[in-house]
Amino acid sequence: MLPDLPFLISPNSLGIIALLVFIGSTMIFTIPMFATRGTAQVAWASVAGVLLLIEAAGLITLVVLVHNGTIWQNPLSW
């Protein structure tokens, strides 16, 4: 399937996909925070923040490795 979709392997398109994934997971991770009040809200906010930080680091690393050609070679640049 990957040879049929070479435009999804470029760093720009992978960055846009990662941004959409990050925005979607931000909404999902912060639902419990908005549903509580007080100390529980602070706890949920810190848990969501840590999870989003880990996710952002992973997605940024993935995009950088794709840009360097370490993970996937862009078929358009061969």
Q: What is the pTM of this model?
A: 0.78
Residues 6+ apart with CB under 8 A from 32: 44, 48
* Each residue's pLDDT tens digit, 20-68: 999 999 999 999 999 999 999 999 999 999 999 999 999 999 888 888 8
Helix H, strand E, coil C: the string for 52-64 is: HHHHHHHHHHHHH
